[in-house]
């Protein structure tokens, strides 16, 4: 199967597309045998640079839905490719065309307890209200440190536009044995979880380019006695 759908909204509006069900064939024994859904900016699938996201069966399933995709213009094309080797139940999409506001202010740390040992950080202000993050953003957050406590960091609902990036750095506080860990995320990352040793300086970094925006991410962190 090779199916294509074009979604066109009035000028000035953008298109948000999300899955309500996805179950696509994927063979772990033969990775080239796979079905997938790909989304493109505009009304053409002929230019690779216009590809926004590609979803296959290996990363997504009925209990794990892909993130929302938001176009940068008033047109978006969806293509479904099935290799014909095997079948599965398919997918179901919903979409909405509207004027979607965006916000260029970095999110702030929100502590969830009086001891400041757990909290969340949204990628940008207004994320909970459905706003997109803006282009040309640069954000950095330093997580709190408490001597002797281990830091656990989880990122959920990651939806970065193509060309945008996020990375985590963690370094020993001081001394000749100082080590730095670097974990990079791109627009295809699903979620991550990292547990970092005590006395570590943990920083989260986010940068968006000058082209497109998306719904961002939510950072969860907690500090605890790892023994």
Tell whether 85 and 149 lie within a shared domain.
no
Q: What letters, b where the CB count within 10 A reaches 16 and e where it falls short, cover 172-182?
A: beeeeeeeeee
φ/ψ of residue 154, rounded to 5: -130, 135
| pLDDT level of residue 175 (50, 70, 90 thresholds) | low
Domain range holding 152?
103-224
Tell whether 129 and 77 lie within a shared domain.
no
**HSE-up (13 A, CA, CB side) for residue 135:** 7
Strands 180-185 and 69-70, by their bridges, are unpaired
Over the stretch 43-83, which tens digit does the pLDDT of each residue have? Answer: 877 655 466 677 776 667 667 777 788 887 788 899 998 87
pLDDT(136) > 60: yes
Over the stretch 186-202, which tens digit does the pLDDT of each residue have? Answer: 666 666 777 776 657 88
Tell whether 215 and 164 lie within a shared domain.
yes
Look up residue 83 and give its two tokens.
Answer: 């290799």
Q: Return the closest-CA partner of residue 19 out of 80, 74, 107.
A: 80
CB atoms within 10 A of CB 146: 15
pTM for this predicted structure: 0.65
Q: How many residues does the chain have?
A: 227
Question: Tokens 């045998």 belong to which residue?
Answer: 33
| Final residue in a domain of this structure, among 98, 114, 149 | 98
Tell whether 129 and 49 lie within a shared domain.
no
């Amino acid at each position: 199967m090779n199916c294509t759908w074009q979604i066109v909204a009035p000028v000035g509006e953008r298109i948000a597309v999300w899955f309500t069900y996805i179950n696509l064939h994927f063979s772990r024994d033969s990775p080239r045998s796979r079905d997938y859904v790909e989304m493109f900016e505009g009304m053409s699938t002929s230019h690779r640079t216009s590809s926004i996201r590609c979803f296959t069966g290996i990363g997504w399933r009925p209990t794990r839905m892909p993130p929302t995709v938001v176009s940068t213009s008033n047109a978006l094309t969806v293509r479904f490719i099935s290799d014909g080797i095997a079948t599965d139940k398919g997918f179901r999409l919903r979409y909405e065309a509207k004027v979607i506001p965006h916000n260029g202010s970095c999110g702030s740390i929100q502590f969830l307890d009086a001891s400041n040992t757990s909290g969340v950080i949204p990628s940008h202000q207004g994320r909970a209200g459905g706003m997109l993050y803006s282009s040309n953003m640069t954000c950095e957050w330093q997580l709190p440190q408490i001597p002797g406590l281990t830091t656990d960091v989880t990122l959920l609902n990651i939806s970065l536009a193509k060309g945008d990036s996020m990375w985590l750095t963690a370094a020993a506080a001081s001394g000749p044995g100082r080590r730095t860990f670097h974990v990079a995320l791109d627009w295809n990352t699903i979620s991550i979880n990292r547990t970092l040793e005590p006395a570590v300086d943990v920083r989260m970094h986010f940068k968006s380019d000058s082209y497109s925006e998306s719904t961002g991410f939510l950072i969860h962190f907690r500090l605890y006695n790892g023994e």
